[in-house]
A and B are shown apart, each in its own frame.
Chain A
Amino acid sequence: MDEKDRTLLHLLEENCRTPTSELAVLAEMSEEEVKSRISRLESIGAIRRYGAVVDWERAGDGNVAAVIELKVSPERDFGYDRIAERIARFPQVRSLRLMTGAYDLQLLVTGPSMHEIARFVAEQIAPMDRIRETATHIIMKTYKENGTTFAEREEVERLPYSF
């Protein structure tokens, strides 16, 4: 990866709907080069997919989300990978990470109601083999997601002219 790839990735991460023609101007290259670089970045998996950052609450569809911490007994030869793969298959699990510290796996789970999330944890996650302990934390408010701040701040007024 070189500086130009890096520039393209930043631009796409910020707005994946930027037209190729504009990417070419911004990143100082031809449209053909933009296309070939992007397809290469897609094929090596540097670009996983194109998506939007959605404020579901604002959209009127207030899902409940929770961070769930799991203490897990690792398996001989596999460590945490096999159990993590099983958990990752549930569509309710939006993200899943192995952590250092007091617990092992961290899940971000979303569902239509608190009740649904409680049921999912109690019935699907907690009874799995090798799960020793669960702790569920309901998310009360999201201030920032993937680098985007949700709260609206009043803009500071700037002078229209200066030298």
Chain B
Amino acid sequence: MRDFVSARARAIPPSGIRRFFDIAQTMDDVISLGVGEPDFVTPWCVCEASIYSIEQGSTAYTSNKGTPQLRGAISRYLDTRFGTRYDPENEIIVTCGVSEAADIAIRAITDPGDEILVAEPCYVSYVPCVSLAGGVPVTVPCRAEDEFRLTPEALAEKITPKTKALIVNFPNNPTGGVMQEADWHGIADLLVDHDLLLISDEVYAELTYEGDHFSPARIPELYERTITLNGFSKAFAMTGWRIGYLCAPPEITAAALKIHQYVALCAPVMGQIAAYEALRIGEAEKDAMVREYRLRRNLFVDGLNKIGLACHVPKGAFYAFPSVESTGMSDLEFAEKLLHDQHVAVVPGSVLGPSGAGHVRCAYAVSRDDLREALSRMAAFLESKE
């Protein structure tokens, strides 16, 4: 029998943390800082509305682009919260999480051979999605010394005549780095000069601790060449509901919608109803969760620096990204030994991009008690390695 697996699927490298996952499964007292999801349960008002809708029999397909109610609510939310305007009729698609939104955005704009720039370290899906779409992923480093922001210099170095688009994620998973308005100007000039498109994944936008999140689509020259991605998973603790959205100029939205309708048909209706409720009445609980993340960040980053793992204060998302260089271990070695010796799970930075090497990603989306315990185990680990 011949090998039926496609060359494209075969070319996707196996997950860099599969090995760790298997080890962690055999332990029963793991403190996991390895999960990129909130530990909070979705606000009860949101769950309750969704349960009621099921009782009422709302179990059918919705419009491909999502219910008009939810698209309208998203449009109003983006305008009041981040100052970006999208028409709910032809500039917004509700997707199965931001993961799907990223995939259809990439496929809607990529032709074979197009070079798509990906600012790294980053979430692991962008690069394989570009490859699956026939594009050529080219990574652009965001460095620790720049507080993990994207600089125009780093970007300019990677632009070629084949470059078509840039994918960024700020606030960033895994570094917690953010881009303020001033940081965008040099980037915007390059994107306009080279006629490039921007895909901006802003799923952590609500988790911005110093000042407000700046959405690059607010820059007038960028608006017409930006696809904004966002979702409910992180801000409203709704990872399992799988609701994200894509916002873009009408021509791009129409192209992405063609792909979305054949891939997913529509996002799950229960999730769409829940998401609508989250925007309607979930703000206070969202704000309370964001306040709690900030407290955890303060506690955890202070603790990391005290035990000797240098860590900048992340301004967004819920990840600390300390350097482990002082230990003399690589990030992979550190993560593996820490899990083995002390049962604390962290993600080695190098699996999230070459600039992540020498760092580990610690999600502080766990209780403060667990963070204290993780810190004391990490301190014991460091002592044992001295």
Contacts and interface: CB of A to CB of B under 8 A. Distances in A.
Contacts of B272: none
B75 to A, nearest CB: 29
Interface string B82-107: 00000000000000000000000000
Nearest to B123: A163
Given A7-B291, A163-B123, A163-B352, A158 B299 contact: no
A139 interface: no
Interface string B331-361: 0000000000000010100001000000000
A26 B292 CA distance: 10
A60 interface: no
B291 A162 contact: no
A163 B173 CA distance: 8
A25 B300 CA distance: 9
A162 B39 CA distance: 13
A161 B299 contact: no
B25 A22 contact: no
Interface residues of A, number: 15
Given A25-B299, A26-B298, A161 B345 contact: yes
Interface string B35-46: 111010100000
B36 to A, nearest CB: 5
A28 B313 CA distance: 12
A1 interface: no
A10 B302 CA distance: 20
B25 A25 contact: no
B30 interface: yes
Interface stretch (B16-24, B147-155, B159-167): B16-24
Contacts of A27: 295, 298
B352 to A, nearest CB: 7
Contacts of B35: 158-162
A161 B352 contact: no
Interface in B88-136: 123-125
Contacts of B24: 160-161
Question: Interface size for chain B: under 10, 10 to 19, 20 to 34, or 35 or more residues?
Answer: 20 to 34
Given A22-B299, A25-B298, A158-B39, A163 B345 contact: no
Interface string A139-163: 0000000000000000010111111
Contacts of B291: 7, 10
Contact of B34 (A22, A26, A156, A162): A162
Interface in A104-163: 156, 158-163
Contacts of B41: 156
Given A7-B291, A26-B295, A163 B36 contact: yes
B209 to A, nearest CB: 10
A160 B299 contact: no
Interface in B298-332: 298-299, 302
Contacts of A26: 295, 298-299
A163 B201 CA distance: 15
Contacts of A161: 17, 20-21, 24, 32, 34-35, 345, 347
A110 B34 CA distance: 47
A160 B352 contact: no
A25 B191 CA distance: 41
A28 to B, nearest CB: 6
Contacts of B295: 7, 11, 26-27
Interface of A: 7, 10-11, 22, 25-28, 156, 158-163
Given A162-B36, A162-B37, A163-B36, 4 more contacts: A26-B295, A160-B345, A161-B32, A161-B345
